[in-house]
Amino acid sequence: MSNTNQSPSYNVTVLGGGSFGTAIANISAINNHSVSLWMRSEKQADDILESRENSRYLPGYKLHKNLVPSLSLEDSVRCADYVFVAVPSKAFRSVLEEAVPFLQPHAKLISLTKGIEPNSFKLMSQILQEVAPAHEIGVISGPNLAKEIADDQITATVIASYSPKLRAEVQEMLSCQSFRVYGNPDIYGVEMAGAIKNIYAIVAGLAAALGMADNTKAAIITRSLAEMSRFAVRLGANPMTFLGLAGVGDLIVTCTSSLSRNYRVGYYIGEGLTLKQAIKKIGETAEGINTLRMVNDKALELGIYMPLVKGLYAVIYEDMPISAISSKLMSGDLAQDVEFMSDGL
């Protein structure tokens, strides 16, 4: 990954030492920014200092010298121009509340977390707005498998923000020969797509483990896109967002790649493991499991037709046979092929 970035140098902090947080931190470091990677694990921090590797989440990939691990949240954020938050959704608010008192007034906050907060049904951007109302915010989402980013595979992502200036700065900050950053003003749609698609990755993993045909897999992915966009638009998203990288792009990669944590959860369950066994085997957070429960409840509350969500919920939480998903896919009214398209186009 070579640096073609001639933009000003920033002090960048990434909160969370998982695979995607580490990958974004390393791109920032390669692009000549001073980077602090905050993590809770002293062993992980020592590994990075000694071997220049995050051996737990990105083993085998050397990290740039500009990336410095930190165990102190205050030290990490107090000089930051940009703070990227990459902690799991269940810890997002608490970490942010701890960090905000130490932020510089001009610091900008970007979420890297694809999830929904339990109980409140709030997206990470909404938590950022609540906890840090004085700061500009944004969200990064897209088909971004961390190991492929670290391996210099050509990758594209989306920075969503209401601020054109923030979008432009992040595009310059992170773009390089193998990593391209596109802008989108629809922060809600970009983030909702990134959260909901994890549910359908679990469905796709199940389908793969059961040996379903390619026609079936294609039907699952395209009906997933219709279902997730129907849900998100009802809650205020722009339907066009789902035709871009954060929508169909992320859905394709997470529903087809064995590098996707949620896909693997579905695959292992399809092979006969329990949910608990599947999660333990992966060793990382699979946000789709928590998102499934929340989206199913919200869809019932609002009366939104989501047969795939309903089928997966029955399998995961109600011990229904896996055939429930295929029956849900083929049940119900004969619907319109493309959501939001009228007879007059």
Residues in Cβ contact with 79 at an 8 Å cutoff, skipping those fewer than 6 apart: 11, 104
pLDDT tens by residue, 157-206: 999 999 999 999 999 999 999 999 999 999 999 999 999 999 999 999 99
How much of the chain exceeds pLDDT 70, in percent?
A: 92
Q: What is the pLDDT of residues 248-266, one digit of tens each?
A: 999 999 999 999 999 999 9
Q: Give the per-residue pLDDT at 328.
A: 65
Burial of 298 (0-12, 13-18, 19+ CB in 10 A): middle
Structure-token match 């959501």, residue found: 339
Question: What is the C-alpha separation between 27 and 35, in angstroms, rounded?
Answer: 10
Could you write out the DSSP letters of every residue in 200-250? HHHHHHHHHHTT--HHHHHHHHHHHHHHHHHHHHHTT--GGGGGSIIIIIH
CATH architecture of 189-329: Orthogonal Bundle (1.10)
In the predicted structure, residue 223 carries a pLDDT above the cut 80:
yes
Output the average pLDDT for the chain. Answer: 91
Prediction pTM value: 0.89
Task: Compute the distance between CA of residue 312 and CA of residue 319 in angstroms, rounded to an integer.
Answer: 10
Residue that is written with structure tokens 């703070």 in the block: 83
Domain residue spans in the chain?
11-185, 189-329
What whole-number distance in Å separates Cα of residue 191 and Cα of residue 160?
A: 8
**Structure confidence by residue, pLDDT tens digits, 309-333:** 999 999 888 888 887 676 665 565 5
Tell me the C-alpha distance between 33 and 284, whole Å: 28
Of these residues, 197, 280, 281, 298, which one is catalytic?
Answer: 197
pLDDT at 243 over 70: yes
CA–CA distance, 124 with 130 (Å, rounded to integer): 10
What digits encode the pLDDT tens for the residues 9-32?
A: 999 999 999 999 999 999 999 999
Given this model, what pLDDT does residue 286 score? Answer: 77
Q: Is 310 a catalytic residue?
A: no
Alpha-carbon distance values, 48 to 21, 25, 68, 133 (Å): 14, 12, 8, 34
Instruction: Give dist(CA 331, CA 67) in Å, integer.
Output: 51
Domain 11-185 sits in CATH at 3.40.50.720
What pLDDT, on the 0 to 100 scale, is given for residue 345?
Answer: 47
